[in-house]
């Protein structure tokens, strides 16, 4: 079939105008070319809509069945802390032993059956699958610090230094320029999933170093989206370590904010303070968020030179410190109790809240009232049961004063 000839409309056009129109028509693709290009450049919205409709059909089928929730993968003191297909977080200030806690968790993942080492009472669930642990580091040097940490994980799990456990992978992104780290990490994980058939337990230490700029929305969401896709399409768990902003309980940057929203379990690590607000040797691990369970009570640990790592603190040490602090009833201690009372979104009358706190701390009304005023006026950060950042709110309702937790205003 002959190609259709251009239909030039000369009319009163000049030669130059005719020439220009001819050139424009020659640049236009034929109908056949347009069809081929349209097929090659498939509309992304149509493609994503197809995905949404396919997922809708799967959800319709699953909704009609009895739902059996997954057993946890890891327990601490018999409390379920990490579940399959989840993103989890350890946050805390610099130097608070976040990495060492992560090392204990990884050791529990790869621990040999006959190993008797206590790992902060962190254990695998009896029915958990066998995971391959993947430790990604961005901070420690490659001559001493990172090799020693990897040795420590293996020794705590019952291996020898010279062993190369099949279920233990590790990498350093230290030498990769920051702007290439995300793509490098994504490519590595893609290759790993082709090479390893077991589920993956991936530690990102520290997670903000895996992206170009943790304060930029687009760069932050790249890693968030990667993790979300991975946990939904593959048998993968992420444990992200992240620093807190200086003099704040808030995880660093826009990435930290989004990470808290997506995480299932968030653990906060920090040194406990004495009655004079000085750091002690005790380290508290507080659960800011437990999506799959009720929020667990904190546990306490400390660094041991003899063990060259973290050990659980003695109950007597913890009780002694808490009793010492109770006499002064610091606002920081009250926050934990207020979170327990109001974290479910309920409101509480002033008198009831005062009575509970007076009984808990053995303090007088005036002391408790002063602390509550300080918490409200200084907008100290609290967390509700979902791990959302909140402020203590005081309001007048008829003749009653009520306290509740309200979402903190975005920075």
Cβ burial 349-387 (10 Å sphere, 16+ → b, else e): eeeebbebbbeebebeeebbeebbeebeeeebebbbbbb
Written out in words, the top-level CATH class of the domain with range 74-324 is: alpha beta
Cα distance between residue 303 and residue 311, in whole Å = 6
Counts for the chain of helices (H) and strands (E), in that order:
12, 16
> Would 74-324 and 327-407 be classified into the same CATH topology?
no
Q: What is the mean pLDDT of residues 123-149?
A: 96
pLDDT tens for 258-300 read: 999 999 999 999 998 877 778 899 999 999 999 999 889 999 9
- Model confidence at 54, pLDDT cuts 50, 70, 90, reads very high
Domain map (residue ranges) of the chain: 1-38, 74-324, 327-407
Percentage of residues of the chain with pLDDT beyond 90 = 64
Rg (CA), the chain: 28
pTM, 2 dp: 0.77
Query: In this predicted structure, what is the pLDDT of residue 33?
Result: 53
Written out in words, the top-level CATH class of the domain with range 327-407 is: mainly alpha
pLDDT tens for 238-255 read: 999 999 988 777 888 899
Cα distance between residue 364 and residue 152, in whole Å = 48
pLDDT tens for 371-381 read: 899 999 988 88
Cα distance between residue 257 and residue 86, in whole Å = 17
Laid out side by side, the sheet with 200-205 consists of 168-172, 132-137, 200-205, 236-243, 87-92, 265-273, 279-290, 299-304, 309-312
pLDDT tens for 311-368 read: 999 998 888 887 776 666 778 788 889 998 999 999 999 999 999 998 888 888 888 9
């Amino acid at each position: 079939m002959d190609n259709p000839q251009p239909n030039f409309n000369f009319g009163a056009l000049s030669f130059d105008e005719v020439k220009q129109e001819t050139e424009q028509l020659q640049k236009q693709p034929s109908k056949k070319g347009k069809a081929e290009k349209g097929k090659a450049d498939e509309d992304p919205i149509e493609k994503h809509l197809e995905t949404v409709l396919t997922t809708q059909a799967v959800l319709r089928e699953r909704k009609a069945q009895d739902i059996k929730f997954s057993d946890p993968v890891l327990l601490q003191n018999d409390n379920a802390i990490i579940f399959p297909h989840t993103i989890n977080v350890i946050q805390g200030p610099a130097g608070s032993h976040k990495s060492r806690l992560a090392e204990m968790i990884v050791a529990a993942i790869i621990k040999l059956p006959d190993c008797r080492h206590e790992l902060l009472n962190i254990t695998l669930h009896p029915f958990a699958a066998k995971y391959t642990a993947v430790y990604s580091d961005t901070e420690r040097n490659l001559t001493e610090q990172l090799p020693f940490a990897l040795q420590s994980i293996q020794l705590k799990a019952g291996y020898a230094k010279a062993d190369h456990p099949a279920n233990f992978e590790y990498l350093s992104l230290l030498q990769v320029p920051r702007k290439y780290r995300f793509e490098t990490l994504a490519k590595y994980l893609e290759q790993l999933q082709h090479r390893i058939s077991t589920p993956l337990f991936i530690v990102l230490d520290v997670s903000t170093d895996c992206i170009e700029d943790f304060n930029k929305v687009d760069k932050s969401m790249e890693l968030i989206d990667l993790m979300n896709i991975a946990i939904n399409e593959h048998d993968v768990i992420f444990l992200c370590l992240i620093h807190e902003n200086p003099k704040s309980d808030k995880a660093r940057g826009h990435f930290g904010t989004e990470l808290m929203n997506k995480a299932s379990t968030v653990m906060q690590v920090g040194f406990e303070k004495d009655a004079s607000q000085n750091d002690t040797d005790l380290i508290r691990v507080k659960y800011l968020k437990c999506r799959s369970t009720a929020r667990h009570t904190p546990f306490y640990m400390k660094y041991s030179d003899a063990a060259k790592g973290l050990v659980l603190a003695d109950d007597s040490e913890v009780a002694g410190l808490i009793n010492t602090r109770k006499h002064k009833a610091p606002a920081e201690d009250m926050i934990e109790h207020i979170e327990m009372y109001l974290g479910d979104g309920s409101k509480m009358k002033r008198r009831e809240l005062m009575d509970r706190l007076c009984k808990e701390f053995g303090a007088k009304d005036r002391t408790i009232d002063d602390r509550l005023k300080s918490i409200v006026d200084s907008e100290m950060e609290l967390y509700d049961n979902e791990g959302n950042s909140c402020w203590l709110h005081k309001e007048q309702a008829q003749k009653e004063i009520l306290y509740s937790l309200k979402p903190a205003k975005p920075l």
